[in-house]
Amino acid sequence: MRQRFAASDIHLIGRIVPGAKLDFGRYIGQVPYSEIPRWMNRAHNFVFLPRWPEPQGRVVAEAALCGCTIIGNDKVGALSFDFDLADPSSYGDVEDSFWDALEALT
């Protein structure tokens, strides 16, 4: 993230890896869960670059529903869905769609 966003107006929220050097952006630290929507609703982009596979991180869907453009990598499973994460109607009837897609694979 440092290399990609060093010159950006970026706010970092949450825990950091112990010993990590934050010499870019503004580090907010951990905030109560109840404050997360306020931060997301003010943001234009939400950056989520996990180091390991994150099949369905709820935070990605929440950020999209708050209007953020998601900047992710190939480990963010939610970005592989063929629907608009920012459209609340996309989340209706997801269980049937999931099982239909699985059955189509067999």
pLDDT band at 20 (very low <50, low <70, confident <90, very high): confident
Percent of the chain surpassing pLDDT 90: 45
Mean of all residue pLDDT scores within the chain: 89
Tens digits of residue pLDDT in 42-91: 999 999 999 899 988 789 999 999 999 999 999 999 998 888 999 999 88
What pLDDT, on the 0 to 100 scale, is given for residue 21? 81
Q: Which two tokens stand for residue 75?
A: 């480990």
What pLDDT, on the 0 to 100 scale, is given for residue 76? 94
Beta bridge partners of 80: none
Q: Where are the domains of the chain?
A: 31-105
What pLDDT, on the 0 to 100 scale, is given for residue 97? 80
Cα torsion 54, 55, 58, 63: sign = positive
